[in-house]
Amino acid sequence: MKDIFEKLYDRMGPLGMYADDAHGYFAFPKLEGPIGPNMIFRGRERLNWSLNNYLGLANHPEVMKADADASEKFGMAYPMGARMMSGNSNYHEQLEQELADFIKKPEVILLNYGYQGVLSAIDALVDRHDVIVYDAEAHACIIDGVRLHMGKRFVYNHNNIESLQQQLRRATKLVEQTGGGILVITEGVFGMSGSQGKIKEIIALKQTFAFRLLVDDAHGFGTMGSTGAGTTEEQGCTDGVDIYFSTFAKSMAGIGAFIGSDPHVIKFLRYNMRSQIYAKSLPMPMVVGALKRLELMRNCPELKDKLWEIVNALQSGLREAGFNIGITTTPVTPVLLNGTIPEATHLIKDLRENFNIFCSIVVYPVVPRGVIMLRLIPTACHTLEDVAITLKAFISIKSKLDAGEYCQEKLAEFA
């Protein structure tokens, strides 16, 4: 017999294998001070492009006050228990109603966390007779929901409608035998590339295939569409999406999430989602705070306008300077460079230590070998001056990378 802990020493996993070198710097960095574009990293202020605080609500004075007042009034414990047992409140129901009105879906169910929510909604919606067809670049919460599924699942190439059609043909054949149905899952905005899911084109396939569509719009809610109601509003296809999901963890700068759908689906989810039935309800300060955030999203369109001013300045500046930022049409801004993982390490250290710029870095296996992806998240609280400083720094690090200055031999310079 083997001690299950034994293998943990030599099998740390795809991220854990870098833990010793990365911890505290590349992984688990501590960003301190008030949330915003200027935060302290290792004792020094850095220009920060790594927070999904798209609308700048995290530090908005009205949000801070609403959170603080609700905490003072209710504490963090209230309501105790799961929603179904003892954790419901008028505030929870009011937030559901206001979200439903905002996203133009008949009903909404609140979720205590987005990740568990998506996973558990998938688990509740399908049984072993059903088939799931999902995008190859789907977020981990979708993948994990699919992993719980007892029936067949088919993955289609990222945003590739032909590949989706192929998989729908296979799925249709299968459900004709099992008597089940098909659930297609995609995202509104893919959080790594910034590309939009082809929701409208997927909905058009309903003419040919029978399926229901779930869209995870974590990055689109608040940032996309004329009112900020998300990627489905942007693409003018709200009605064709059967299950709309988003989280409070990005534009809303909070915790929690929600699903919008038809009343009978929401009723079913309320009584069948294990992550909600067997876990504590969202704490009251998060619910009252979310009502304030939603009010600001509805009443202050200038926040989204400011976000897009920064997005456009940053993305056009990068493109004009010759950077490859892929096919983003959303605030998510990937900068794709060519280099090895050691080069990426030196480049990011240079960027942080000498240019005081903090952004996320993504390397193989998330992106292909030889690609370094820097990921910038613009927000409504960045300034055009922040953009100018960043462009200058990026031009400089790219020319150093191209000149081979981040190669192993140059290690000593950064020691």
Give residues in contact with ligand PLP (CB under 6 A): 113-115, 118, 139, 141, 187, 191, 216, 218, 247, 249, 257
**Closest-CB residue for ligand PLP?**
114
SS3 196: strand
Provide φ and ψ at 146, rounded to 5°. Answer: -65, -35
Of the pair 284, 397, the CB lying nearest ligand PLP is at 284
Of the pair 96, 187, the CB lying nearest ligand PLP is at 187
Of the pair 189, 310, the CB lying nearest ligand PLP is at 189
Alpha-carbon gap, residue 178 to 181, rounded angstroms: 9
Strands (E), 165-219: 182-187, 212-216
Shortest CB 120 distance to ligand PLP, Å: 11
State the amino acid at position 184 in one-letter form. Answer: V
Of the pair 180, 230, the CB lying nearest ligand PLP is at 230
Tell me, rounded to whole angstroms, the distance of Cα 176 from its chain centroid: 35
Shortest CB 321 distance to ligand PLP, Å: 28
Shortest CB 52 distance to ligand PLP, Å: 8
Shortest CB 106 distance to ligand PLP, Å: 22
Shortest CB 10 distance to ligand PLP, Å: 30
Shortest CB 276 distance to ligand PLP, Å: 13
Q: Identify the bridge partners of residue 337 per DSSP, sorted by sequence position.
A: 372
Of the pair 359, 387, the CB lying nearest ligand PLP is at 359
DSSP 228-242: S--HHHHTT-GGG-S
Shortest CB 139 distance to ligand PLP, Å: 4
Q: Which long-range contacts (CB under 8 A, 24 or more apart) does 79-85 make?
A: 79/281, 79/283, 79/284, 80/280, 81/280, 81/281, 82/276, 82/277, 82/278, 82/279, 82/280, 82/281, 83/110, 83/270, 83/276, 83/277, 83/281, 84/270, 84/271, 84/276, 84/277
Alpha-carbon gap, residue 184 to 154, rounded angstroms: 10
Alpha-carbon gap, residue 48 to 122, rounded angstroms: 35
Shortest CB 217 distance to ligand PLP, Å: 8
The Cα-based distances of 206 to 177, 201, 342 in angstroms read 20, 9, 47
Q: Identify the bridge partners of residue 134 per DSSP, sorted by sequence position.
A: 155, 185
Of the pair 293, 346, the CB lying nearest ligand PLP is at 293
Shortest CB 114 distance to ligand PLP, Å: 2
Q: Are 205 and 237 in contact (CB under 8 A)?
A: no
Shortest CB 113 distance to ligand PLP, Å: 4
DSSP 364-408: TTTS-TTEEEEEE---TT--HHHHHHHHHHHHHHHHHHHTTTTSG
Of the pair 58, 347, the CB lying nearest ligand PLP is at 58
Shortest CB 75 distance to ligand PLP, Å: 22
Of the pair 140, 384, the CB lying nearest ligand PLP is at 140
The contacts of residue 278 (CB under 8 Å, 6+ apart) are 82
Of the pair 217, 350, the CB lying nearest ligand PLP is at 217
Of the pair 175, 282, the CB lying nearest ligand PLP is at 282
Of the pair 141, 290, the CB lying nearest ligand PLP is at 141
Alpha-carbon gap, residue 288 to 282, rounded angstroms: 10
Alpha-carbon gap, residue 319 to 334, rounded angstroms: 11
Q: Are 55 and 222 in contact (CB under 8 A)?
A: yes
Structural tokens at position 387: 């953009």
Provide φ and ψ at 360, rounded to 5°. Answer: -80, 155
